[in-house]
Structure 1
Amino acid sequence: MSFQVWILERRKGTTINVSVANSEEEFKNTTVEELKRKLFSADSRYKVCELYCNDERLFHDRTLGSHGIKHSDVIMIAPPMLPQSLSSKGEREGEFISRTESMEK
């Protein structure tokens, strides 16, 4: 059995079915970065796009399983909206940094 996800490309409004893995364990252990590489192959766009599932941004260093993604879930692909890290390391939920503070950093 092939474990798959549906990819919705926000700009075009199109969906495609992507085969991710051949087993549930392999599917759960696939990182978001690996999925992005599979989607874009040699294209470097995977480095800057963002993926979302159930209105939550997916971090490239985490696995599909850690995000709770299951076989046949829909993942939305979008261009980056905010200049944020794609990594979950150092993520500070709910913390607001003013524009002045961010410019100083």
Structure 2
Amino acid sequence: MSFQVCFLDRRTGTKIKVSVANSEEEFRNTTVEELKRKLLSEDSRYKHCGLYCNHKLLFHDRTLGSHGIKHNDIIVTEPPMRPQSLSSEDECEGEFISRTKSMEKLTLSM
């Protein structure tokens, strides 16, 4: 039996089923980081997303079992909070500006 979770992209409503493990023990011991890598193999748009289950943020270094996640549970993906753009010229669709980069731009504009 394959143990799976269903990812729900809150922005688009898209659902993706991902096989996580072949046994319940392996499923419970899978870290959120490992789960996210499996999601990324399905779709790279989720590289910087947050993962939530039952309205609680999933921590990357913890296991699915420690979060109480079970076979066929729904995990919601949320895009990261994007920093405020310094100007409309800096804003590109889908581009993430790091805090360091935005601080550098702010310093140069002063």
Common fold: TM-score over 0.5: yes
Deviations 1:39-62 (A, max 9, x none): 11394842x210000000000000
Q: Which residue of 1 aligns with 2:53?
A: 53
Instruction: Identify if the C-alpha distance between structure 1 residues 44 and 12 changes in structure 2 by more than 3 Å, giving closer, same or farther.
Output: closer
CA separation in 2, counterparts of 1:79 and 1:66? 23
- Structure 1 unaligned segments of length 5 or more: list them: 84-105
Q: Aligned AA for 1:52?
A: Y
Deviations 1:42-97 (A, max 9, x none): 94842x210000000000000000000000100001112389xxxxxxxxxxxxxx
Q: Which residue of 2 aligns with 1:22?
A: 22
Residues paired across the two proteins, number: 82
8 Å CA contact 2:39, 2:46 repeated in 1? no
Q: Which residue of 2 aligns with 1:38?
A: 38
SS of structure 2 residue aligned to 1:67: coil
The share of aligned pairs that are identical, in percent, is 71
Instruction: Identify if the C-alpha distance between structure 1 residues 44 and 8 changes in structure 2 by more than 3 Å, giving closer, same or farther.
Output: closer
CA separation in 1, counterparts of 2:81 and 2:56? 13
SS of structure 2 residue aligned to 1:39: helix
Larger Rg, first or second structure (1 or 2): 2
Q: Aligned AA for 1:4?
A: Q
CA shift for structure 1 position 17:
1.1
Instruction: Identify if the C-alpha distance between structure 1 residues 43 and 6 changes in structure 2 by more than 3 Å, giving closer, same or farther.
Output: closer
TM-score, normalising length: structure 1: 0.71
Summarize the alignment of residues 23-102 of structure 1 with structure 2, pairs less than 5 Å apart: 23-41=23-41, 43=44, 45-46=46-47, 48-81=48-81
TM-score, normalising length: structure 2: 0.68
CA-based RMSD:
2.0
